[in-house]
Amino acid sequence: MNMKIVDFLSNRRTEERISYFVIACVIAVISFLILYKADWILGDNYEFLISTAAGKPEPLSFHIGLSRFYPLGHYDYNILTLIPNATSALAHYIYVAVTFTVLICLFCSLVNKAGREYGSNTNLYLTALFTVLLTASVSFLTCFLNVIYPERILMVLFAVFMLLYYRGVKKQNAVCYTLAFLTACYASYVKEPVFGVFIVIAASNFIFAYKKLSRKDIVFNSALLLNGAVFLTLYYILSLSTSVSVYRCDDPLPFFRLLFTVFSGEPVLAIIFAAAAIRIFKIITDRDKYARFYDELIFAAAAYSTAYIILNYNSSYYFAPSIIIGLVPLAYWSAYLIRNDKKAAVLLMSALCIIPLANIKPVFNSATAITSERSKVMPGIKMMAEIHNAGGKIYWYQPAGDGQDIFNLTNFYINFVNGTKNRLYLTKIDDVPNLRENDLFLYKIFGNSRYTVNTDIIRRLKAQNFRAFQFQTAFLIFKNDNGYDKGINRRNTL
């Protein structure tokens, strides 16, 4: 019976059907999540409201200054300005879904090539597994269920670079090397640490394989080093030299707690780091030959994550590009183990299969939180605009601390919905006023906790028949139980 199952699963046609079905399901499910309840959320989305959502291209200067330098972070969205009426949130998310589909196709091609390096009979199963491994993570979903993160297009660019670089290495194709270099140049200006990826790739080749490099290889790797030098020069001249402060983590974690947070949040990163360490050890001790293309990628993946660990950043989305770079060489070494070391292959495959299963709950919670926020923010903003337009007042109560950014953003979003500019819709107060039936009372909360709300304020609001309606983690909306009730579902939270 067991042999029949093995024979059935090892059949090439069965492998194709199962693998393509899994990949198609991944594309369908995540594309659905990307488009589900597509809408703007409160925060950095305002960048789109003043550019592509208004039919205007985002300028290169938008992300230069204050020690930041990633002018091409959102530049790809400018393609929407060439499409008539592509200004809505849905249009932006459709574009995200398209880039996601392109990324998966590119990634599957890369993993499939890696599996074939050792003539693996299960390279399609590897492709399906690694596709699930890539997408069933909080970091990946965060990048694609939000429009704001540059890591989304960065992952696409890394996949394009790897495919072109692969052909350049294997075929010694000058055109592919040239296109790979141009892709690297573009990617370097999408997020600051990216230049280091290409420096690590070039340095690895020069250190471990210099005698085997062809003239084209040497020119290409030298160009990558030059690209890094140009980026650092421009970064210093255009941003760092004029910045009075350094962009840093406001709440740094102790080192070992930081490592635990990063690796427990994305366990596959621990495997990538371990693989990089093992490869360096084996190469240095002459126990193994340097594997062109795959070894430099595993080193680059570890280096990219290390940059953020040094900076003490632990949010999951920072590490998503490392995962897509690292999974390609991990697929290569998986195919090697399947062919040459069955026991090690079983251990590695078991670990890789467990990771998506362990991620089910955090991935579900993350997707639910993101889509929930989409469904609340703009309806709440529209409700505020309608109430103000109908003669009601919107009061902003802030007991202590700095909440000016949220105040300004909320006011900006109301301007956007109303088609106005620089109009003040919110009235700041330091006490509970006499509220009319159609007024709103916004309570700025700190630490993202409703338990920071003053109970005396709640009592006085309830005395005027005002109840809390959850809107966004930054503040609560209180409105009259008998008053204006459009655009948001009531939820008594306090």
The tens digit of pLDDT for each residue in 129-175 reads: 999 999 999 999 999 999 999 999 999 999 999 999 999 999 999 99
User: Does residue 364 belong to any structural domain of this protein?
Assistant: no
CA distance 167 to 21: 28
Q: Which long-range contacts (CB under 8 A, 24 or more apart) does 461-464 make?
A: 461/432, 461/435, 464/432, 464/434, 464/435
User: Does residue 490 belong to any structural domain of this protein?
Assistant: no
In this prediction, residues 37-54 reach a mean pLDDT of 92
In terms of pLDDT, which residue wins out, 475 or 122? Answer: 475
- Helices 138-145 & 151-171, crossing angle to 10 degrees? 110
In one-letter notation, the amino acid at residue 397 is: Y
The tens digit of pLDDT for each residue in 82-131 reads: 999 999 999 999 999 999 999 999 999 999 999 888 765 567 889 999 99
The residue among 307, 330, 358 that closes a domain is 358
pLDDT of residue 480: 84
In this prediction, residues 341-364 reach a mean pLDDT of 92
Task: Please tell me whether residues 199 and 95 are part of one structural domain.
Answer: yes
Task: Please tell me whether residues 338 and 388 are part of one structural domain.
Answer: no
* Tally of structural domains, the chain: 2
The tens digit of pLDDT for each residue in 370-412 reads: 998 898 889 889 989 999 999 999 999 887 665 678 888 999 9
pLDDT of residue 492: 42
pLDDT of residue 123: 79
User: Does residue 290 belong to any structural domain of this protein?
Assistant: yes
Task: Please tell me whether residues 382 and 464 are part of one structural domain.
Answer: yes
Task: Please tell me whether residues 232 and 180 are part of one structural domain.
Answer: yes
The tens digit of pLDDT for each residue in 218-240 reads: 999 999 999 999 999 999 999 99
Task: Please tell me whether residues 293 and 378 are part of one structural domain.
Answer: no
| Residue 135 host element (H or E) | helix 123-135
pLDDT of residue 488: 45
In this prediction, residues 431-441 reach a mean pLDDT of 90
In terms of pLDDT, which residue wins out, 289 or 22? Answer: 22
In this prediction, residues 434-453 reach a mean pLDDT of 76
User: Does residue 267 belong to any structural domain of this protein?
Assistant: yes
Query: Domain containing 404: what range?
Result: 372-480
User: Does residue 181 belong to any structural domain of this protein?
Assistant: yes
Task: Please tell me whether residues 42 and 186 are part of one structural domain.
Answer: yes
pLDDT of residue 402: 59
The tens digit of pLDDT for each residue in 300-334 reads: 999 999 999 999 999 999 999 999 999 999 999 99
User: Does residue 217 belong to any structural domain of this protein?
Assistant: yes
Residues 6+ apart with CB under 8 A from 71: 60, 61, 62, 63, 64, 189
User: Does residue 472 belong to any structural domain of this protein?
Assistant: yes
In one-letter notation, the amino acid at residue 48 is: F
Task: Please tell me whether residues 473 and 386 are part of one structural domain.
Answer: yes
Task: Please tell me whether residues 379 and 263 are part of one structural domain.
Answer: no
Task: Please tell me whether residues 268 and 313 are part of one structural domain.
Answer: yes
Task: Please tell me whether residues 354 and 388 are part of one structural domain.
Answer: no
The tens digit of pLDDT for each residue in 175-217 reads: 999 999 999 999 999 999 999 999 999 999 999 999 999 999 9
CA distance 191 to 73: 6
In terms of pLDDT, which residue wins out, 295 or 407? Answer: 295
User: Does residue 488 belong to any structural domain of this protein?
Assistant: no
Task: Please tell me whether residues 394 and 326 are part of one structural domain.
Answer: no
Per the structure block, which two tokens stand in for 341? 């070391």
Is the pLDDT at 28 greater than 50? The verdict is yes
The residue among 327, 358, 389 that closes a domain is 358
The residue among 308, 330, 358 that closes a domain is 358
> For the whole model, what pTM was predicted?
0.92
The tens digit of pLDDT for each residue in 452-467 reads: 678 888 899 999 998 8
Task: Please tell me whether residues 109 and 204 are part of one structural domain.
Answer: yes
Per the structure block, which two tokens stand in for 394? 């919107």
